[in-house]
Amino acid sequence: MNKSALPFAIPGAVSIVLGGVVSAASAGAPSYLSAWAVAYLVLVCGVAQLVLGMGQAGLASKRPTTSLLTFQAVALNLSNAAVLLGTLAGVPVLSYVGAALLFLALGLFIWGVRGTRPQNAWLLWGFRFMVFVLLISAPIGLVISHLRAA
What residue spans define the domains of the chain?
A: 3-149
Contact between 97 and 78 (Cβ < 8 Å): no
Contact between 50 and 73 (Cβ < 8 Å): no
CA dist., res. 150 & res. 148, Å (int):
6
Sign of CA dihedral 29, 32, 35, 36: negative
Residue 11 banded pLDDT, cuts 50, 70, 90: very high
Given this model, what pLDDT does residue 143 score? 86
Transcribe 40-57 into DSSP letters: IIIIIIIIIHHHHHHHHH
Given this model, what pLDDT does residue 150 score? 65
Range with lowest mean pLDDT among 18-22, 61-65, 72-76, 145-149: 145-149
Other residues' Cβ atoms within 10 Å of the Cβ of residue 31: 9
Q: What is the pLDDT of residues 24-59, one digit of tens each?
A: 999 999 999 999 999 999 999 999 999 999 999 999
The amino acid at residue 79 is: S
Read off the pLDDT of each residue in 119-138 and give the average, rounded to a whole number. Answer: 90
Q: What is the pLDDT of residues 78-128, one digit of tens each?
A: 999 999 999 999 888 999 999 999 999 999 999 999 887 767 788 888 899
